[in-house]
Copies of this chain bind each other. A is one copy, B any other.
């Protein structure tokens, strides 16, 4: 299946109109997030690499073209689509960079029809992946010393989303994922425990724990809450002692007040000389609960986070847009109330003092600032391969250290201010004045 029709119909109709009129001037579109979801002090940019793969291979296949021909698209448009590839240039932040609202994540510069056609796919990938990468990073920040494992596959919005969640959890610093295919494809640590059904499939809980240890190599994480949690802990302790298990052994709490149960379980295990047996918890965890558990010093070694993390339950999207900012070398802006855009191709300059400056791309760097947007595609070809998980992980870590502590807070974080360069402000003012003066915006600035 080709991917060119995985798009909104209007991208195709607009491109058809542009092609018919030879409106193929160079256009720059800027993809950014308009505002942060509540309780977010930053975003972790993700999905960029998947967008670049898409752009590099963009093409209508015969099936696509046949459908379009049968649904009102003129034959000249269908012919033009047949030969169309993405030939443009792209600047983007790298996968895993920490960014703020208003900062472009991707800027596409290409002949207008090409730049328009790719909008929907780019928004789709960046929107959900950035929402998930940000949530994953917040969970990791909140959990402190507690190791995290991705348990989200069963609740993610499809298997594609489940694969992305696993990758993004690794980028955020999770220790493993339950998703075996993701572990295989990305070289992550696959992690798992046992289900209640396993315990139920044996005559007794102890039989189940023993069987698991006999049949499989470690690690062993015994699920203790199928019948009565603390009795389950006692049973696990007896099995661990009887079989002399010492290598990577844990119990798992999956219901009730896991903080309170973890303390009681720790006592039981310690009293039996099993201080090396870890405590793993799961069940409706998110960054808020993780912060409460971690900050109260609850004896929890690791946690599986699934549903609320993998669906980004409190904010399942970011307010991403893909806006025309330059056409034929002239800056463009939109004036819709509450949805204004800033004109022109841009750069984000990042300085040591926790300050980002949104600037025109053509400006010189202020001092020793780092430009967040880097060239990633030229003439439709990628300049480098996909980031590895390790590379993206290192970016998250480095950028989090740069971020002010107040922006990293889980609850009521302070959003760092995004400054605008003088040249950008001037351009916005002149473009607006031209637009409001009735002078056509595109042809005036």
Contact = CB atoms under 8 A, between A and B. Distances in A.
Of A1, A112, A197, A316, the most chain B CB neighbours within 10 A belong to A197
A157 B154 contact: no
Interface string A99-115: 00000000000001000
Contacts of A9: 178, 180, 183, 190-192
Contacts of A146: none
A172 to B, nearest CB: 17
Contacts of A251: none
A422 interface: no
Interface string A314-336: 00110010011001000010111
Contacts of A6: 153, 159, 162-163, 179-181
Nearest to A184: B67
Contact of A313 (B181, B317, B335): B317
Given A112-B201, A203-B443, A255-B339, A5 B184 contact: yes
A193 to B, nearest CB: 6
A128 B156 contact: yes
Interface in A264-297: none
A412 interface: no
A127 B163 CA distance: 16
Nearest to A190: B9
B158 A197 contact: no
B311 A198 contact: no
A324 B153 contact: no
B8 A154 contact: yes
Interface in A14-32: 14, 16-18, 20-21, 23, 27, 29
B120 A20 contact: no
A311 B158 CA distance: 12
Given A190-B9, A191-B9, A324-B201, A127 B153 contact: no
A11 B178 CA distance: 10
Interface stretch (A223-231, A242-250, A348-356, A386-394): A223-231
Nearest to A232: B336
A442 B158 contact: no
Interface stretch (A90-98, A208-216, A370-378): A208-216
B324 A317 contact: no
Contacts of A71: 190
A226 B335 contact: yes
A83 interface: no
A305 B406 CA distance: 35
B204 A440 contact: yes
A57 to B, nearest CB: 14
Interface in A102-151: 112, 116, 119-121, 123-125, 127-128, 132, 151
B119 A195 contact: yes
A23 B324 CA distance: 62
A164 B124 CA distance: 14
Interface in A397-437: 435
A337 interface: yes
Contacts of A337: 225, 229, 255-256
A361 interface: no
A23 B226 contact: no
A347 interface: no
Contacts of A228: 335
A381 interface: no
15 contacts: A9-B191, A14-B195, A17-B212, A27-B201, A29-B197, A120-B154, A123-B154, A124-B155, A124-B162, A125-B158, A128-B161, A229-B336, A255-B336, A311-B316, A313-B317
Please name the 5 residue pairs, one residue from A and one from B, whose CB atoms are nearest each other, closest first.
A9-B192, A157-B157, A10-B192, A197-B324, A158-B160
Given A10-B192, A116-B198, 16 more contacts: A8-B153, A9-B190, A11-B195, A14-B198, A17-B211, A20-B215, A63-B184, A121-B159, A124-B155, A128-B155, A159-B160, A160-B160, A196-B334, A201-B442, A226-B334, A226-B336
